[in-house]
A and B are shown apart, each in its own frame.
Chain A
Amino acid sequence: MIDAYFIHLLILIGIYLILAISLQLSLGYSGLLNLGHIAFFGIGAYVSAILSLSGVPFLISILVAGIISGFFGWLLSLPTNRLKGDYLALTTLGFSFVVYAIFLNWVEITKGPFGLPGIPRPNIFGIDFSSNTSFLILVVIFVLISYFFIHRICNSQFGKALEATRDDELAAKSLGKHTLKLKSISLAVSAFFAGIAGCLFASYITFIDPSSFTFMSIIPILLIVIIGGLASLRGTILATIIIVLLPEPLRFIGLPSSILGPIRQIVFALMLILIIYFKPRGFFGKVDLE
Chain B
Amino acid sequence: MTNVFLQLLINGIIAGAIYALVASGFSLIYSTNKFVHFAHGGIIALSAYFLFWLFSKLGLNFYLSALLTILFSSLLGYILNKIFYRPLRAKKSSSSVLLVASIAILILLESLVLLFFGADVKIINFIKNNQGIEFFGAIITPLQITIILVSVILFFALFVFMKKSKIGKAMRAVADNRDVAEIVGISSEKIYSWSFIIGSAIAGCAAILISLEQNITPTMGTNLMIKGFTGAIIGGITNVPGAILGSFLLGIVENFGIWFMPSGYKDAIAFILLFIFLLFRPQGILGIKNNQK
Contacts and interface: CB of A to CB of B under 8 A. Distances in A.
Q: Do A and B come from one complex?
A: yes
Contacts of B274: 91, 94
A190 B95 CA distance: 24
Interface string B110-127: 111011001100000000
Contacts of A263: 111, 115
Contact of B267 (A79, A86, A98, A259): A98
Most chain A CB within 10 A, of B94, B107, B112, is at B107
A222 to B, nearest CB: 7
A276 B88 contact: yes
A261 B96 contact: no
Interface residues of A, number: 44
B265 interface: yes
A86 B271 contact: no
A33 B99 CA distance: 10
A24 B155 CA distance: 43
Is chain A's binding surface mostly helix, strand, loop or mixed?
Answer: helix
B191 interface: no
B265 A101 contact: yes
Is chain B's binding surface mostly helix, strand, loop or mixed?
Answer: helix
A72 interface: no
A71 interface: no
B100 A104 contact: no
Interface in B33-63: 35-36
Given A79-B278, A83-B278, A276 B97 contact: yes
A101 B271 CA distance: 11
B288 interface: no
B145 interface: no
A265 B109 CA distance: 10
Contact of A222 (B91, B100, B229, B279): B100
25 contacts: A33-B99, A35-B103, A79-B278, A85-B96, A85-B293, A89-B100, A94-B274, A97-B267, A101-B264, A101-B268, A105-B264, A219-B103, A226-B100, A259-B115, A261-B114, A266-B115, A268-B107, A272-B100, A273-B101, A273-B105, A273-B108, A276-B101, A288-B94, A288-B97, A290-B96
Interface of A: 33, 35, 79-80, 83-87, 89-91, 93-95, 97-98, 101-102, 104-105, 215-216, 219, 222, 226, 258-259, 261-263, 265-266, 268-270, 272-273, 276-277, 280, 288-290
Interface of B: 35-36, 84, 87-88, 91, 93-97, 99-101, 103-105, 107-108, 110-112, 114-115, 118-119, 222, 226, 229-230, 233, 262, 264-268, 270-271, 274-275, 278-279, 282, 293
